[in-house]
Amino acid sequence: AAGVIQSPRHLIKEKRETATLKCYPIPRHDTVYWYQQGPGQDPQFLISFYEKMQSDKGSIPDRFSAQQFSDYHSELNMSSLELGDSALYFCASSLGLLLAGDHNEQFFGPGTRLTVL
Amino acid sequence: AQTVTQSQPEMSVQEAETVTLSCTYDTSESNYYLFWYKQPPSRQMILVIRQEAYKQQNATENRFSVNFQKAAKSFSLKISDSQLGDTAMYFCAFMIYSGAGSYQLTFGKGTKLSVIP
């Protein structure tokens, strides 16, 4: 079965640089979520999109922005990177509009490991 | 706000034995979902099992089963016949519908399980 695809898998940036992370959801999934997981931490919700519109917002810094495109893929843009932004960034997808028999669980991609030097 | 508490930071179990991971949560919501996710050393987030709050029957998935006590707000995970591949961080997670096609997922701090040969 198709899974959530994230690219790149690893990214190394310098302080104050920008980074763009991409996420391709499971086919049919119309909701995309972004999470940040620091070392030894649980994943923290950043932002979500449903049908190309922002649907919920968590602890996302103002330096970060995201969007969902017409093909449902999403991109997380991170500017003025700081050392503390080094983390594993997960994208997850789910069905937002449920039909009979559908489930709403979130399926996670493999993550993008961002290292800021 | 919802909170999820996993009181066991680390646990170990002998191969082929049974282990139970604890999870409690706090919410004023009546309609919610509970999950256990597994994060092995590869750091992929893998869905293990789900439980809808309106269902009294405990969910089972092969060697994994839950003990859902709604009144006590408890959701423990039992792993039977533990295998070396079960070694991972296990996150308990609580989910509610947050509107606009999006679901809010809150994780506990995790329990690191080691299966000993």
Q: Per-residue pLDDT tens for B27-52?
A: 998 889 999 999 999 999 999 999 99
Q: How confident is the model at residue A102 (pLDDT cuts 50, 70, 90)?
A: low
- pLDDT at residue number A100: 56
Cβ atoms within 10 Å of B62's Cβ, excluding its own: 9
pLDDT at B85 over 60: yes
In angstroms and rounded to an integer, the radius of gyration of the C-alpha atoms of chain A is: 14
The C-alpha atoms of residue B30 and residue B53 are separated, in whole angstroms, by: 8
Question: Would you say A86 and A37 are in contact if contact means Cβ atoms under 8 Å apart?
Answer: no
CA of residue B9 relative to chain centroid, distance: 13
Chain A interface test: which of B37, B38, B103, B107 (most A C-beta within 10 Å): B103
The C-alpha atoms of residue B102 and residue A65 are separated, in whole angstroms, by: 18
- Taking an 8 Å cut-off on Cβ atoms, the answer to whether A106 and B101 are in contact is no
The C-alpha atoms of residue B3 and residue B76 are separated, in whole angstroms, by: 15
Q: Residue A98 has what DSSP assignment?
A: P
Question: How far from A43 is each of A20, A34, A78, B97, CA to CA, in Å?
Answer: 19, 9, 18, 18
pLDDT at B17 over 90: yes
Give B 43-72 residues with CB within 8 A of chain A.
43-47, 50
Region A40-46: mean pLDDT is 95
- pLDDT at residue number A1: 72
- pLDDT at residue number B58: 94
- Taking an 8 Å cut-off on Cβ atoms, the answer to whether B45 and A55 are in contact is no
Q: How confident is the model at residue B23 (pLDDT cuts 50, 70, 90)?
A: very high
Average pLDDT score over chain A: 93
Q: Per-residue pLDDT tens for B64-84?
A: 999 999 999 999 999 999 999
Whether the bond into A8 is cis, omega within 30 of 0: yes
Instruction: Find the closest chain A residue to B42 by CA distance.
Output: A110
As a whole-number percent, the residues of chain A with pLDDT over 90 amount to: 85
- pLDDT at residue number A101: 59
Region A19-43: mean pLDDT is 95
pLDDT at A89 over 70: yes
Question: Would you say A55 and B98 are in contact if contact means Cβ atoms under 8 Å apart?
Answer: yes
Instruction: Find the closest chain A residue to B112 by CA distance.
Output: A40
- Taking an 8 Å cut-off on Cβ atoms, the answer to whether B98 and A55 are in contact is yes
Question: How far from B33 is each of A19, A107, B95, CA to CA, in Å?
Answer: 34, 14, 5
**Residues whose CB falls within 8 Å of the CB of residue A56, separated by 6 or more in sequence, listed in order:** A45, A47, A48, B98, B99, B100, B102, B104
Taking contacts as CB-CB distances below 8 angstroms, the residues of chain B near A43 are 45, 91, 107
Average pLDDT score over chain B: 94
- Taking an 8 Å cut-off on Cβ atoms, the answer to whether B100 and A56 are in contact is yes
pLDDT at A49 over 60: yes
Q: Per-residue pLDDT tens for B98-115?
A: 878 888 899 999 999 999
